[in-house]
Amino acid sequence: MNLHKATGIRHLCDSAYVLSFERNNVAFVPGQHLNVGLPGEEERPYSLYNGIDDEQLEILVKEVLNGNISTKLKLIQPGDLIAVDKPHGDFTIEDERKKLLPFWFISPGTGISPFHSFVKSYPDLNYQIIHGIRFGHESYERQIYSAGNYLSCTSRDNKGDFNGRVTEYIKTVEADLTAYYYVCGNYGMIDQVYDLLISKGIRKNQIKTEGYF
pLDDT (tens digit per residue) in 185-210: 999 999 999 999 999 999 999 999 99
pTM over 0.85: yes
* Parallel, antiparallel or unpaired: strands 103-108 and 127-133: parallel
| Residue 24 and residue 59 share a domain | yes
Give backbone dihedrals phi and psi of 201, rounded to 5 degrees, phi first: 100, 5
φ, ψ for residue 11, nearest 5 deg: -90, 115
Residue 142: pLDDT above 80? yes
100 and 135 fall within a common domain: yes
Tell me: do 66 and 26 sit in the same domain.
Answer: yes
The residue-averaged pLDDT of 74-86 equals 97
Contact 84, 3 (CB under 8 A): yes
- Do both 111 and 31 map to the same domain? no
Residue 143 sits in a domain whose CATH number is 3.40.50.80
Quick one: 107 and 143 in the same domain? yes
Q: Based on the domain organization, do 80 and 99 belong to the same domain?
A: no
Phi-psi sector, 111: left (phi>0), alpha (psi -120 to 50), beta: alpha
Res 213: pLDDT = 62
Q: Are residues 116 and 138 in the same domain?
A: yes
- Cα angle 185-23-55, degrees, rounded to a multiple of 5: 95
Q: Judge if 105 and 159 occupy the same domain.
A: yes
Q: Tell me what pLDDT residue 67 has.
A: 83
CB-side exposure of 130: number of CA atoms within 13 Å?
23
Residue 38, phi then psi, degrees to nearest 5: -80, 150
What's the pLDDT tens digit per position in 59-73?
A: 999 999 888 899 999
Residue 157: CB atoms within 10 Å: 13
Is position 180 within any domain? yes
Predicted local confidence at residue 85, as pLDDT: 96
- Rounded to 5 degrees, what are φ and ψ at 171? -60, -25
> Are residues 159 and 186 located together in one domain of the fold?
yes
End position of a domain, from candidates 25, 59, 84:
84
**Count of H-run helices and E-run strands, the chain:** 4, 12
Residue 166 lies in a domain: yes
Both 34 and 65 in a single domain? yes
Positive or negative CA dihedral for 144, 46, 176, 140? negative
Q: Give the rounded percent of residues in the chain with a pLDDT score beyond 90.
A: 92
Shared domain for 111 and 158, answered yes or no, is: yes
pLDDT at 212 over 70: yes
Domain final residue pick, 84, 114, 146: 84
Total domain count for the chain? Answer: 2
- Exposure of 94 by Cβ count < 10 A (0-12 exposed, 13-18 middle, 19+ buried)? exposed
Which domain CATH number covers 63? Answer: 2.40.30.10
Largest Cα separation within the chain, whole Å, is: 51
Q: What is the pLDDT of residues 148-192, one digit of tens each?
A: 999 999 999 999 999 999 999 999 999 999 999 999 999 999 999
Cβ neighbourhood burial of 13 (10 Å; 0-12, 13-18, 19+)? middle
In a domain, 90, yes or no: no
